[in-house]
Structure 1
């Protein structure tokens, strides 16, 4: 069994079979704050719903962002700690890729705050541009090109008709297994793309 979690936007957790063909349990809670207080309990609830014990877990998948510093860090630290405590591997995947893989041909746009967005472009479910951070006006959207993501819905003048969505942890697990089979590096380094909102001189 695989535990997949992401805190780049919503608190998202899925328990999947070893091939990530289906989610035995999936929890997605949009909570702009409070990731640290809620994530462990959401993982516990998902495992209980799926009837999964620690000994059943064979791997952890974590979303690496891009996302604001604090929320993203909670998911990464939790994933690494679970992997260490349970002696299983941990694999990192760009959070936007979960939406890109599910939606296929699309521009995924996340909320970067400070009136900016994180974005990446996908063709046939594979990332072909990004991830990057920019002002909404600086993200090029072609005629007829679809946009999805919570960040896009915040700026309808620049992303008309955008669909609100958060990274699905099931698709995060699927991307991790696909890339692992292809021999890609699946490190858990965070994609902040800029310095934290609070930092020293």
Structure 2
């Protein structure tokens, strides 16, 4: 797909913000305190630099997270409004599949070791959003996840991943290595080191987002969602928060007898 012939805009606010046209240098904001306010400005900037107007857009790809509430919602609302105003097709893509694909392309083994990728994003409150991937064909087929997308504490994630990795190693009758990739990886290095000891295997750490690779990252996100769409795998354009609301159901009121 050529970004000039079929203008495609990528918007992601899962961590900071990334705004870019396919095949062109994106505008990236890493300051989570100001990226929401600058979102509209950055969209106008990348469109102007390409000599395009909003009405030229044919497709808008927006990141669905998983990520914390405020910033993620801002990106999705903006993308929906822009698609409505321009008639552009709107596609949503979670950030964990392209994160896993990006890590796999950088760390894939030259020997026969099978590489698993644990894609994560910082969920705050000492938790991580995560999903484990195990099979990576070309972009013609989606990466195969080995877990559901979820949120948990790193220690609990390690327990789940250890069980799956041991099962995969037993089934494949060969060595398995693991990459942990995404924002928040480095913060819990001690957990991944303990996991490596438990599995007696190599666990590599890859802090940061695939979108920090700028044009390559934004284009990878677009490629993932467009290939999924071609196969009829279209996700609802709704934010992936995953965290349960911090509310509890109140106890029923006690019946009080009224005396006459």
What range describes the TM-score normalised by the shorter chain of this pair?
Answer: 0.7 to 0.9
Q: Quick check: 1:151 aligned with 2:184? A: yes
RMSD: 2.3
In 2, are the aligned partners of 1:33 and 1:71 still within 8 Å (CA)?
Answer: no
On the 8 A contact 1:4/1:62 being kept in 2, the answer is: yes
Q: Secondary structure at the residue paired with 2:178?
A: coil
Gaps spanning 5+ residues in structure 1: where?
17-22
Match of 2:207 in 1: 164
Ranges in structure 2 where 5+ consecutive residues have no aligned partner = 1-6, 105-115, 137-142, 166-175, 194-203, 212-217, 251-260
CA distance in 1, matches of 2:51, 2:247: 41
Aligned residue pair count:
195
Maintained 8 Å contact 2:102/2:210: no
Residues 138-176 of structure 1 show CA distances to partners (whole Å, capped at 9, x for unaligned) of: 113556301111111221112355212224332221111
Identify the structure with bigger relative contact order (alpha carbons < 8 Å, sequence gap 6+). 1
Secondary structure of the equivalent of 1:130? coil
Q: Does 1:123 align with 2:134?
A: yes
Structure ID, larger Rg:
2
2:150 matched residue in structure 1: 132
Aligned-pair CA distance for 1:199:
10
Q: TM-score normalised to the size of structure 2?
A: 0.68
Higher helix share: 2
Q: Name the counterpart of 1:19.
A: none
CA distance in 2, matches of 1:123, 1:182: 20
Q: 1:193 Cα deviation (Å)? A: 0.4
